Structure 1
Amino acid sequence: MSKHSFPSLHLATLLVLSSVGSTAWCAEVDPTRFEKTIVSADLVQPMEFDIAPDGHLFLIELGGNLKRIDPNIGVAEVVGKLTVTTEQENGLIGLALDPNFAENGWIYLQYSPPDFPGQHISRFNFRDGQLDLASEKRLFRYQEQRRECCHHAGSLEFGPDGNLYIGTGDNTNPFNDSAGFAPLDQRPDREPWDAQRSAGNTKSYNGKILRIRPEADGSYSIPDGNLFPKDGQIGYPEIYVMGCRNPWRINLDQRTGYLYWGDVGPDAGQDNERGPRGYDEVNQARSAGNFGWPYFIGNNFAYPLVDFASGKISPPQDPASPENHSVNNTGANLLPPAQPAMIYYPAAATDLFPEVGSGGRTACAGPVYYFDNTLESPHKFPAHYDSTLFAFEWSRNWIMAVHLDADSKIQRLERFLPEMQFTRPIDIQFDARGAMYVIEYGETWGVNPDAQLVRIDYVRGNRRPTAIATAVGNVGREPLEVQLSGRESSDKDGDPLTYQWTAIRASAAASSTATSDADPAATPPTLERTLLSTEAEYTATFEEPGIYTLELQVTDPSGANSVTSLPVLVGNSRPEVEFLEPRDGAFFTPGQAVRYRMLVRDLEDGTSDFDQADEDENWEFIDSSAPSRLTVEAVPVDHSAEASNDPPGLALIRQTDCLNCHAYNRPLVGPSFVQIATKYQDQPHQMEVSVKRVIEGSTGVWGKVAMLPHSQHTPEQVQQMVEYVFSATADNSNPSAQGFTNELPIAEEVQAVRFEANFTDLGRGDVPKLSGFQSVTLRSRQQQAEWADEYQRMQPLNSDKAQGKVFMGGIEHGGYLRFKNLDLSQISALKVRLASAGAGGMLEVHQSSLDGPLLGSIAIEVNGEWEAFYEKTIALEKADELADLFLVFKNEKNRGGLANIDAVEFLK
């Protein structure tokens, strides 16, 4: 059993030396040539995937679904469903395709059956496009305790020699008296808190990476070279690596056969007599070995044995000869030597591996990429990444390129595409073309609308520019001056662009006959096209009322071009809508109605202001039918930061000109998304028709405003956009009212609400009706910490002792909660629920920014219990502004494990 390949001092020197050339890669590879494509967004808690020889992807979801994804069209088809339990992070947790999948169709799954306290590893046949559940061959199973959460790990990978590797967690509760250090509790009935019975036990399958060789009959054999002899006397012969805490993602170098995995470490924020603070690890095993947990972590930093009854702490063990004498150990007392980690890092920044940054920790290991000069592929990664391990971080949202030398030792670490967002990457693989696929799990541990599978290509050759058009004053009375700009258009190759502005208008005859009920298959009306300008910026004047479409085409020197468009409506002004009461950022009491007062002005219809109509003869008092055209709705708001990311379809829509004409639940220039979804809800064939319309353009389907072609988008992108539109639903449970003055009831359970007012005018001639819109957001004074609009350097954690069963923990120095847009005139103090068994520090309240005016602060009391929350009041300086509040945690000396925060109350 060899030690690790290099001592830590040598590694530190190597990193310092290599940092001199750390930016040289920019000369070898252009990061702007990496393009991210959403392959599939129809995912629910995706876990692992594998790529079949024909390019199809097989992906598992925690709830038991097996999906097959065609990367060319992005459709995720459910091809199998296992019955699993998802309690305590269980579920369908591991997937691997047989190395000979093209011939035998075998799929291996690691899952949590409801009727067995542990995990099954089974082989299934994939036949006729479906997983054959009746074909199950259970190779292996292992037990776990289910009294206490957590650490089930879960990951399957085949090595180049045909052996199957299985990641298993230590199945040990890390909380309570362990205080974030090693759980070594040997007191009676505390087995779930003792990792010596699992990860440190040679006769436990928990906290290990197992290695077996599947046989054709559905059984398995033990390959040579595992950690213990095949007779099983010292330890289980399936064990390849022991001493793991939570090896959540494993991968095999398909050339060297070396095993890589990320191990998620414990939570302690600082070193003390109980041992080192928590570290996450990225490990490399060239051969079988013991990687130390629960006695060692990182560079073999030792956790001493603790008598949890008396508090006595024993001297640390020697990593060369660790021993396990726990009353819960069923295996050997003398353990193999402990191996140090390849890469290790705490929550705080580290000088040894500065590239990993700071924050939460969930280390994962991806594949090793090898550049193939003979492979003809426009997608493959460049030679710069030859012999590179791609490690990644689920909590910190990064992917790290770990460059390896010819002996698979670290040359240097380099953040991969730091400007590109990866939302909790959870699995990475390369396909046969050299392109990278990444599962983005989404913002929370639960079900996320932003969960997706993406592909990263390195695009060679000329790239098409991106056209972006902006307009000021594109709706109003004639003569209408519209300020146009294409300055935001861009070209990734840095080529100069030429511009062409064109005004498009349906012919008069066609315009007079087009209706919202027009046959979409009918001959489209004739469009009059007028070239306006070839300048990047231009002011167009429209003298004649009507409906126009402005098209901007940008072209690079090679002729590659991109087109975008926006509407111009001449002859009718958009109504102005304003809330006089309540004020944006104000507070309400759940269960009590909120009064509102509105002001509406419209040049054609008039004004709702009596005084203005009396004083100004140009304004008429709005007629009595107008209040029926004003609707005010109370929409509950999910103020959690995790809910802020757009679904993939909407993210694509935001990159187009769609929102120039459409809004979600109110008519704009074209119909709302809800109107479209309602019209086509029982017409599934309209999905394909609508995709075609978006790409090719259409006129007369919903009225007189034309939709120009969007050929710059792929069918897969348009499919996702249309799927999002078709999923739009009006929540009829939201209370609404009419009239310029009224009140809206607020339910008891609502903690934040948005009042949305929408007024529709009467139109003018051929110019359609237009809507004016305004909204204000109100909050309950009692807010859970996890509802903050933004947070950094902390994470949501579950607890029955928290008010909403969730609190914000893992707080580091500089961590903050941000509550946006509050009426500070209504706040005199904050009441916060805190707990700390760690470093404590200060909690400061700043206005508008992290270093904005300090409104108040308190010292954080260390009460010795992470979940025993106490209340403190922070008096605030008076302010009469609408601004953001930042709750900032500080401790310059001890920068990790400061405190937990459960709730915030904004006091009058």
Structure 2
Amino acid sequence: MLHWISTPFRGFTLSLCFSVLATTVAVGEPVDPSRFEKSTIAGNLVQPMELDIAPDGRIFLIELAGVLKRIDPKSGDVDVIGKLEVTTAQENGLIGLALDPHFAENNWVYLQYSPPDFPGQRISRFTIVDDQLDLQSEKRLFSYEEQRRECCHHAGSLEFGPDGNLYIGTGDNTNPFNDSQGYAPLDERADREPWDAQRTAGNTKSYNGKVLRIHPEPDGTYTIPDGNLFPKDGSIGHPEIYVMGCRNPWRINIDSRTGYLYWGDVGPDAGRDGDRGPRGYDEVNQARVAGNFGWPYFIGNNQAYSIVDFVTGTVGASQDPAAPINDSVNNAGAKNLPPANPAMIYYPAATSEIFPEVGSGGRTACAGPVCYFDESNPSTTKFPAAYDRTLFAYEWSRHWIIAVHLDQDSNVQQLERFMPETTFVRPIDLQFDAEGALFVIEYGETWGVNPDARLVRIDYVRGNRAPVAAASVQNSVGREPIETHFSAEGSFDKDGDPLSYRWTATRSSATESSNGQTEQRELIGSQARFTHQFADAGVYTIELEVRDPAGATSVTSLPVIVGNSRPEVEFLRPHDGDFFTPGQPVGFSLVVRDHEDGTSDFDEAEEREIDPIDSAAATRLFVEAVPVASGEDAAAENVPAGLALIRKSDCLNCHAANRLLVGPAFVEIAKKYKDQPHQLELSIKRVIEGSTGVWGKVAMLPHSQHTPSEVQQMVEYVFSVSPDSANPSAQGFNNSLIPAGKTDQIRLEATYTDRGRDDIPKLSATGVVMLRSRQLQAESAAEIKGARPLGSSKAEGGKFVGAIEHDGFLRFDKIPLDQVGSITVRVASAGAGGDIEIRRGSVTGDLLGGTPVEVNGDWEAFYEKTIKLTESDARDALYVVFKNAEKRGGLMNLDSLRFEPRR
């Protein structure tokens, strides 16, 4: 969804894609793709859906659960300014957003949402008063009903055109599963209305499966603009309909100059052509005038689906796109429909011969803004002239953005992968601001809540660019003297210029001079690679500065700790990959070795004549059971965004939630700064720039690799930690603990903190083993190919693995084969059925067992089958391989697997 914020209409500024010089740019300027740079503006987003940009640059963004946020693109500050009560069942929620064309004067915002007390969608106008959404100001502009008995396709997208008309995307509200087999859902049987898209997308008297067009009036009502698909008297169809024959047009956009409508339409699931018609295609469409775009009778370039009798299974003739007819018993509108228009761009899951630039894989097509080059705009972030008259289409499932270059008549001229070396993690909305920078919402890895959901900005940077400093070190911790190897070979200059290097070391901690000041920085190297010997104990901050010939610099830093060796922690039991039983104790046995402290293995201590680590060390050894989401859900694990960033950084080397390591516990930090809001900004500064003396002599290194927005999320998480934030834990070298909650997998972490040495700080080390329940959800597999996780209230974990193809497989790693005698699978099929094979080591490895999966006529009526396995020892990957060489697609659904012990 892309909107404009011009005066009087947004379309005349924001959808313009400008070039990037501070002064006039020549139209013939060559484009260097490496000059497009991506930066994070805001994180900590929860299922973000759409954004719009105000004339003053403020960004407004909605989240599915009903939240409206305002974001300052310069500071990254994110504020919640309103919340609507919505239902989020199926795909409902707060799904559409548009600022009024005169937002600067009236502060009106339009929202498309799913009220809990109304079976459908509502489009209302609200006023923002004192920077808050005034719920009492609601003007209910328009609403349309839907069925909520079955899923799917609620779409949801709002967009203003240059003439002040409001466009509304609506889905066909039809269940695509079961007997439709991934083709057109044309089920006319009694009580099967939710499976018949003829009742919605093909129905002139339904608002579903359409793009509607209305003109909002100042009093909160609307009028019908000229040029919609049907007469204003409603005699043939609803007068609000501009485009019909859509399946799920969930992202729409309007060309600010031509007024042409663009939208991405998500297609059906069929993986191959069949007697019912063509395989599934996604579409990027263009409507210059009102029209019918074919669904559910046609897809792609008007490839026709056959009319199917769902009672007898008889496959009939297909329709003529020039004169489609809706004869469905569920049709409330006209029988004779307008001619069907072919898609502008269309592609299947497989590689497209016509549009090879789109690649292959999952499909969720979206349409973004059309760029126009403005040579007079002085912005330093605008795109080059080569992107004049270019539509930006994007793919939520394939993680890409494609530049669709249009000719002077708005016909497709060329497709070009935009920033091909960059992955956009499920882009869900795009918009240009007044300065020509492209803002992208990255939804994150899964349909659920993602810690990596964020708003990013794309700039085109001209002139000399600063180099990027990257430092690595080997042998950075140990007893003195230590010989440490440094490398800057990861550093680079974006312009290809040669770099000079400056390595310096500052010793802190116990090495303070008599006047209390830290020792001066010492030059230790000027090469990309070198070795340096540290003879004196201390904590050293190593700083690498790289410089290009123009004087632009970049700095990074890393620590070297001399005088104390890092301990080693090893699990003697359990082993990585072992099974555990939820709710039952998990016993463990550990050994710890440390150069200074000794070893917990008394026999080893006696043999090597080193100190034994006695039982008092148990207070320095903590074992935690951490629930783990895996497979596709790993990225959607319900983890705060700040914690996710902390885990990716080096914070946990020095800090734990509620116990002292090298640095203070998070709970102590939170306690100290409770009710001191000013400390948030100070802490962010300390994390980025580094600090010492706040919690002791040991310095905290700078973390300039993180953006202020990222550090803010990290610090906000630390400030939120409470004493009850820890996972189940135990102490000692031999003990047990009971994992909390219900989870397929746990990570058993044993962390030992040594005593330190004199003034050299304590060091910690962690041993880890992954344990799994014998009852595993199919979607928790380490790898899924030729299938994908899907949601269902009837599945054990709320999900199952479906859309299974021939030769698809799941991979489960490190299975202790000597602990498994059989596997019970929970399956269902209303499609082709097939066979399941259990193979060791690879998809073609040793066959340990298998079973046929019969068609039971219901995709979600799961039943169990047990597969006896050939006895095998050791640990290895197990592959669950799906077979049906004849049908090849739509084989079965797999909900879970139970690894039964040997009898």
Same fold (TM over 0.5): yes
Matched, 1:756 2:749: yes
Name which of structure 1's ranges 646-655 and 34-43 shifts more when overlaid on structure 2.
646-655
Q: Is the 8 A contact 1:837 1:862 kept in 2?
A: no
1:758-773 to 2 correspondences below 5 Å: 758-773=751-766
Partner of 2:68: 66
Work out the CA distance in 1 between the residues paired with 2:851 and 2:494: 50
**Residue aligning to 1:583:** 575
Equivalent AA in structure 2 for residue 804 of structure 1: G
Summarize the Cα distance change of 1:746–1:690 in structure 2 as closer, same or farther, 3 Å threshold.
Answer: closer
1:534-573 pair list within 5 angstroms: 534-573=526-565
User: Conserved in 2, the CA contact under 8 Å of 1:270 and 1:897?
Assistant: no
AA matched with 1:866: W
For 1:781, which of 774, 777, 791 is the aligned residue?
774
User: Of the candidates 162, 165, 170, which is equivalent to residue 164 of structure 2?
Assistant: 162
Quote the Cα distance in structure 1 between the aligned partners of 2:324 and 2:88. Answer: 35
Q: Deviations over 1:800-831 (max 9, x none)?
A: 44232310122346644343444455446544
Aligned to 2:635: 644
Deviations 1:503-537 (A, max 9, x none): 10238684899xxxxxxxxxx84332211111222
Identity of aligned residues (%): 67
Partner letter of residue 219 of structure 2?
Answer: D
CA spacing shift, 1:821–1:38, aligned 2, 3 Å: farther
Of residues 277, 289, 310 in structure 2, which corresponds to 1:287? Answer: 289
1:595 aligns with 2:591: no
* Cα distance in 2 between the residues matched to 1:381 and 1:843: 52
Higher relative contact order (CA 8 A, sep 6+): 2
1:683 lines up with 2:685 in the alignment: no
The residue that corresponds to 2:604 in the other structure is 612
| Equivalent-residue separation in structure 2 for 1:638 and 1:826 (angstroms) | 23
Following TM superposition, by how much is the alpha carbon of 1:798 offset from its aligned partner in structure 2, in angstroms?
A: 2.0
Structure 1 position 347, deviation (Å): 2.3
Q: Per the alignment, in what secondary structure is the counterpart of residue 398 of structure 2?
A: coil
Tell me what 2:788 maps to. Answer: 795
Q: 1:411 to 1:896 in 2, by over 3 A?
A: farther
Provide the rounded CA distance (Å) in 2 between the counterparts of 1:48 and 1:544.
Answer: 57
TM-score (norm: length of structure 1) = 0.90
Residue 386 of structure 2 is matched in structure 1 by 384
Structure 2 CA distance for aligned equivalents of residues 796 and 403 of structure 1: 35
Separation of aligned partners in 1, 2:731 and 2:655: 23
Q: Give per-residue Cα distances to partners, 1:393-437, cap 9 Å, x unaligned.
A: 222222222221221111222222232121221111111111111
Could you give the per-residue CA deviations for residues 255-278 of structure 1, whole angstroms, max 9, x where no partner exists?
A: 111111111122222332222222
- For 2:614, what is the secondary structure of its paired residue? coil
CA contact (8 A) 1:84 1:111 kept: yes
**How much does 1:703 deviate?**
2.2
**Among 715, 732, 739, which residue is 2:732 paired with?**
739
Distance 1:616 1:853, change over 3 A: same
Amino acid paired to 1:628? T
465, 468, 474: which one aligns with 1:466:
468
Q: Please provide the CA RMSD for this pair.
A: 2.9
CA distance in structure 1 between the partners assigned to 2:564 and 2:276 by the alignment: 73
Q: Is the 8 A contact 1:276 1:303 kept in 2?
A: yes
User: 864, 871, 894: which one pairs with 2:865?
Assistant: 871
The more displaced of 343-352 and 768-777 is: 343-352
Q: Which residue of 1 aligns with 2:78?
A: 76
TM superposition score normalised by structure 2: 0.90
Counterpart mapping for 1:198-217 below 5 A: 198-217=200-219
Between the two proteins, the alignment pairs up a number of residues equal to 871
Aligned residue in 2 for 1:493: 495
For the residue of structure 2 that corresponds to 1:906, the secondary structure is strand
Structure 2 equivalent of residue 353 of structure 1: 355
Deviation at 1:450, TM superposition (A): 1.7
Does the residue aligned with 2:779 lie in a helix, a strand or coil? helix
Determine which of 707, 713, 717 is the counterpart of 2:700: 707
The CA deviation string for residues 209-261 of structure 1, in whole angstroms up to 9 with x for no partner, is: 11111122222111111111112111111111011111111111111111111
> What's the offset of the Cα at 1:756?
1.1
Question: Do 2:632 and 2:789's aligned partners in 1 also have CA atoms closer than 8 Å?
Answer: no
Counterpart for residue 43 of structure 1: 45
Deviation of 1:574 after TM superposition, in Å, equals 1.8
Deviation of residue 95 (structure 1)? 0.9
Q: For the residues of structure 1 that align with 2:647 and 2:623, how far apart are their CA atoms?
A: 26
**Partners in 2 of 1:708 and 1:803 — Cα distance?**
46
- Equivalent of 1:372, from 371, 374, 387? 374
Matches within 5 A, 1:846-857: 853-854=845-846, 856=848
- Helix, strand or coil at the partner of 1:689: helix
* Aligned pairs (5 A) from 1:382-421: 382-421=384-423
- Assess, with a 3 A threshold, how the Cα gap between structure 1 residues 509 and 576 changes in structure 2: closer, same or farther: closer
The 2-side partners of 1:876 and 1:780 are apart by: 21
SS at match of 1:719: helix
Tell me the amino acid that sits aligned with residue 730 of structure 2.
A
2:17 is matched with: none
> Shift of residue 166 of structure 1?
0.7
Residue number in structure 2 paired with 1:832: 825
- CA 1:245/1:177 → structure 2, altered by over 3 Å: closer, same or farther? same
Q: Return the letter of the residue paired with 1:832.
A: V
Asked if the contact 2:446/2:635 (under 8 Å) is kept, the reply is: no
Change (3 A) 1:224 1:896: same
For residue 709 of structure 1, report the CA deviation from its aligned partner: 4.7
Q: CA deviation at 1:670?
A: 3.5
- CA distance in 2 between counterparts of 1:612 and 1:198 reads 76
Q: Are the equivalent residues in 2 in contact too, given 1:584–1:823 (CA < 8 A)?
A: no
Given that 1:507 and 1:528 are in contact with CA atoms closer than 8 Å, whether structure 2 keeps it comes out as no
Q: Is the 8 A contact 2:843 2:881 kept in 1?
A: no
Aligned pairs for 1:167-566 (under 5 A) are 167-506=169-508, 510=512, 525-566=517-558
Q: Distance in 2 between matches of 1:650 and 1:872?
A: 40
Shift of 1:749: 2.7
1:723 aligns with 2:716: yes
Structure 2, unaligned runs of 5 or more: 1-27
Partner SS state of residue 766, structure 2 = strand
Q: Give, in angstroms, the shift of residue 81 of structure 1.
A: 1.7
Q: Distance in 2 between matches of 1:712 and 1:601?
A: 33
Change (3 A) 1:181 1:713: closer
- Inter-partner Cα distance in structure 2 for 1:675 and 1:810: 49
- Residues 270 and 894 in structure 1, CA contact (< 8 A), matched pair in contact too: no
Helix, strand or coil for the counterpart of 1:527? coil
My pick for the range that moved more, 692-701 or 92-101, is 692-701
Q: Which amino acid aligns with 2:37?
A: E
Change (3 A) 1:672 1:847: farther
